[in-house]
Structure 1
Amino acid sequence: MWLQNTAAPVALTPVKQPPVLDPVSTATATMHIWWNSAIRALPSIVAALIFLFLAYWAARGVAVLVRRLAMRRDRHDLGTIIGSIVFGALMIFAVMIAAVIVFPSVKPGDILSALGVGSVAAGFAFKDILQNLFAGVLLLINRPFRRGDQIVVKDYEGTVEHIQSRATLIKTYDGRRVIIPNADIYTSPVTVNNAFAIRRTQLDLGIGYNDDLGNAARFIVEAIRKVEGVIDDPAPEAIPIEFRDGDVLVRARWWTDSTQSKVVHIRAKVVEAILQAFRTGGIDLPFPTQIVLLHDQTGKNEGDRAEQRLRGFDQAADGKDDAETRPPK
């Protein structure tokens, strides 16, 4: 059986082409829409600006309060950094609230989500800056050294001027300023020269083998005690350390105030006092001495070192005598 399609034919309606818009009219209409939106949002914008103005002065007041509290506890640099961080955090929070006031459809959760994604990107972009910032905060909280301390960091030595959010400023003893990133200081060994009230200084001296070592040590201690600025307790001392070529190493040690200028000037006075005591007591400070042994190159006395030394000295003496008796040309 054949099936016959009895459906009525569908009439096709022609598609109308969209009207061609005038660019000038379109731009004008869009500008009108924006203008109307701005006029409607003008009260909200004014309210947001007033809120930001008030929030700015409030945040500034909180930052000043934080700095003053830190100054009362003798933590000027920590108060400066914490105050700046508090001011920045409050202003960011104020901007978020202002955005909600101007755009009511914006939710605080959306802003926080955007800030979370942005903070990750910013963390990678400003890794070194944030690392120095956190290191500076930890240095100021733990206080391994303070402003005015004399420290040694790597190849730099001087007095701490400021501990900023990014770097620590050191004034060297010759009047130069060194800026060291906080992360380098936090991860490097730091020597604080004036961490304690007194500091020990030492000086190595060479005493000849023909001199009385006990008398030399006594002269050293007595000379150091007479120097102004040397502390009596702990007492100065002179300790024989080792035998060297041509002399015996004696190490003189004494204690002074830990300030670098006093350490340097007292050391100079100690050197002068010891030298004068040695001259008065007849103690020799020998010069470096070398002994040259002439080796027998003929091989006749190979292995007999005593014979080689004897022949070497004899040949040297004979050569000297020949040179003295040889008539001049």
Structure 2
Amino acid sequence: MRLLSLLLVCLALASTLPLAAQTADQPDGTITVEDSATQDAAIAVRIRDILGELDGYRNVTVTVSSGIVTLRGTTIDSAAATRLNEIARRVQGVVAIRNEVVESTDVVERLNPAMQRFRARFFQFIAFLPLISVGMVAFAVVTYVGFWIARRRQPWDRIAPNAFIADIYRQILRIAFVVAGLVIALDILGATALLSTILGAAGIVGLAIGFAVRDTVENFIASVLLSMRQPFRPNDTVEIDGEEGKVIRLTSRATILLSFDGNHIRIPNATVFKSKITNFTRNNERRILVDMGVAYDTDLTRAQAIMLETVRALPFTLEAPAPSVWIESLGDSSVTLRVAGWIDQHDTSYLLARSEASRLCLAALDAAGVTMPEPTFRILGPDTPAPAPARAPTKAPDMEAQQTDAHAEAQLEKIVNDERRALGDQDLLNRDAPVE
């Protein structure tokens, strides 16, 4: 019972709030001393005439006594009841306003204005149907023209560096014609102001989607940039993000490499674009390096000359750039000599050439009696015998270089070419595109 009483009190207080709000707006100015019944009647008539011309005040009654206007009745909403104060206070001679108008709860009365608005808008839509039809036809024609131009192979295939960029051009053209058709249709309907709202909403939605798929957008942009400024060609031997292999193709999502083990390596284009790329195939000349460790008591000048002459005499070594040799490092038990020679990597296998250079340098040093130290330690004492003399040169080994043509690389290139022919439409690499 106490809970019910409290609820009734709250409802009673709530019912008084709209009335207080309605009577707060009172007229200002000086109140005259004279009280005229004629003036009161004129005020009441004037207010009734005004309310009679306005919608929503049919059930409102007006009485005036001594300049005090009393309003009673119902309206369809509280805003209409509040507007009565503004109307009454502007009438000359009004001293105060007592607004007792409440919001109507009659279902039929409240639905009638909505039905009238719906009916008016329906008839307005029917009247606009011919104009809407013209706007839709204009939009369809403009859009069809744009899509027809985008479907043509020229000039997009000619001006684009590859098929991927050509498809982007076509998509941009389609969007441009759709927007143009929408502008024309809205202009025919006289609703061009709606276009800014549509574009603003589309921009907000696009920004939200962009943040949600940021990695995908980054990968897409990287694909566009890589396809326009291609840092490698098909069959190039490259190293990207620590992965080495031959380039098979560049797709809209990833760069595909064929490793020297015959495996496919897929690297996202965003990673490719941000990584250091080493292209081993761009130049014909490539340097091979051979390291040899000799003992500290070796005649280093003689050992260097032997290694240099051995590399220079190899049939695949280029005269320019010329071979060179130097001391690379000093180890615990050996001195590391490094000899460098240059080859034409398109005719000579890099791995086989380095292998042959290593084999023949080792054989030449061995034949010359140059000691190859082992990583051992010798403890010297009072009775330690003198070190053994250097061994005599052994029989001269076979110094003829083996076959070093690029046969293995050719086999890998054949695999790459076969796969490119099978999936040619998925490649963005183009030999006519500019190269970084």
TM-score normalised according to structure 2 size: 0.53
RMSD: 4.1
Instruction: Measure, in 2, the Cα distance between the counterparts of 1:96 and 1:137.
Output: 24
- Cα deviations by residue, 1:230-265 (Å, 9 ceiling, x for unpaired): 212222233233332332211011111245972112
2:292–2:338 CA contact under 8 A, matched in 1: yes
Gaps of 5+ in 1: 71-77, 294-308, 315-329
Aligned to 2:287: 200
1:227–1:273 CA contact under 8 A, matched in 2: no
1:66–1:79 CA contact under 8 A, matched in 2: no
1:96–1:111 CA contact under 8 A, matched in 2: no
SS in 1 for 2:321: coil
Instruction: Measure, in 2, the Cα distance between the counterparts of 1:286 and 1:14.
Output: 117
Aligned to 2:349: 262
Aligned to 1:83: 166
Pair 1:216-2:303 in alignment: yes
Deviates more, 1:265-274 or 1:155-164: 155-164
| Cα offset, 1:228, TM superposition | 3.5
Deviates more, 1:35-44 or 1:199-208: 35-44
Return closer, same or farther for 1:235/1:261 CA change in 2, 3 Å cut-off.
closer
Instruction: Measure, in 2, the Cα distance between the counterparts of 1:251 and 1:260.
Output: 24
Structure with bigger gyration radius? 2
2:292–2:362 CA contact under 8 A, matched in 1: no
Aligned to 2:67: none
Aligned to 2:239: 152
SS in 2 for 1:239: strand
1:208–1:246 CA contact under 8 A, matched in 2: yes
Q: How does 1:1-329 map to 2 (within 5 A)?
A: 6=37, 7=40, 10=62, 17=106, 19=108, 40=130, 41=132, 44-45=135-136, 48-61=139-152, 64-70=154-160, 78-100=161-183, 103=186, 104-107=189-192, 108-258=195-345, 262-291=349-378, 293=379, 310=381
SS in 2 for 1:245: coil
SS in 2 for 1:19: helix
In the comparison of the two structures, how many residue pairs are matched?
A: 285
- Cα deviations by residue, 1:173-229 (Å, 9 ceiling, x for unpaired): 222333333333333322221232201111110123454433433332333234332
SS in 2 for 1:233: coil
Return closer, same or farther for 1:272/1:311 CA change in 2, 3 Å cut-off.
closer
SS in 1 for 2:172: helix
Return closer, same or farther for 1:39/1:112 CA change in 2, 3 Å cut-off.
closer
Aligned to 1:299: none
| Cα offset, 1:95, TM superposition | 1.9
- Cα deviations by residue, 1:82-108 (Å, 9 ceiling, x for unpaired): 322211211111222333455534425
- Cα deviations by residue, 1:276-310 (Å, 9 ceiling, x for unpaired): 3234333332222223x5xxxxxxxxxxxxxxx64
Return closer, same or farther for 1:257/1:33 CA change in 2, 3 Å cut-off.
farther
Gaps of 5+ in 2: 1-32, 45-61, 64-70, 75-103, 386-436
Which of 1 and 2 has higher RCO (CA within 8 Å, sep 6+)? 2
TM-score normalised according to structure 1 size: 0.68
| Cα offset, 1:145, TM superposition | 3.5
Instruction: Measure, in 2, the Cα distance between the counterparts of 1:131 and 1:253.
Output: 42
Letter in 2 for 1:94: F
Instruction: Measure, in 2, the Cα distance between the counterparts of 1:223 and 1:156.
Output: 33
SS in 1 for 2:377: coil
Return closer, same or farther for 1:201/1:116 CA change in 2, 3 Å cut-off.
same
**Percent identical:** 27
